[in-house]
Structure 1
């Protein structure tokens, strides 16, 4: 059993009408319909254990897996500076065409409880390319100067990516944690055959890309749908 650490930032937004003005630039892929349907069923079962005052469920239209996060927790002015660099070096649509042409295949998902969230972790197949190598390719492809900005620290060895299904926004009882652990164990036995290509609905987004709403979709591309 573990201790829940609620997402106080998200709780403030939901309960106190706070505006999330943290900005960033990110490349995401949105899951295909069969993955979204599976996630919605999981979320329904989670909500039967923990109510909405304690567990926030990610809306289906916001479900995504991050492929590349260039900067995060920055001002809008900093975002515009980085976008200027990007536009000088790349056509975003050409960059996305490259991204969808070499994307990995994700499979064997497992639901996992973390102190602040419930996530669905996907492993990647070795062919056509493992996720760790893919992320390095994307970073090398961008090749812009991000010194002086808040830049995520990526692990170059991880073969997994995740989708956040829910976040804890208040403390829950130990008995509820036990129920969740039992539920997660049972759900994982049913997910073994879920597979998808990570080039479905790829988008480049900028602005308040977390909980703030109002982000801009700079470019989009579709690869293999499955």
Structure 2
């Protein structure tokens, strides 16, 4: 029997925001970053992401700098506050219903995101999704806290295909064993959309909408 899996991008797909960007805004409001410089750099990185030119390793060093300085206890407490004041309000009924629809059909649901695991694991759990493929953060063996470097293949652009293949292989599966839906808003996710049995351009950016229209892919405007 073919296993059905439903893969979901997170930012602008299941939530109408970029969680890493908003986390940066949140920590800046806490006084963890220089407001002018952080805002300027954050916006530059975000524009590079939308353009498909982001250096993911450089960005992760930037995005994790504040929590590396503040340490695990303060960072985890701040993230709990971020969840309650920002993310919970952003989880919309129709997005939650879409995930639950796949779960109720017996599909294995996986969130596949280019945002790091620290920011996104609590968000995935808020959707009731324990299976998360995110950017894994390397940790210092001495302290157990993150270093700012990426561990393994980053789940970004073509790396999402690699990480999903690794996830499948760990379960003794390959692409031929699964029927795979993938929901994404971003042109950055074109490699994984092309691998999916059922690609769904979800709240798509302009470039992805044009490709989806040309190829006859389903377009879902969730928000």
> Do the two structures share a fold, i.e. TM-score over 0.5?
no
Q: Which has the higher helix share?
A: 2
TM-score normalized by structure 1? 0.26
Larger RCO: Structure 1 or Structure 2 (Cα < 8 Å, ≥ 6 residues apart)?
1
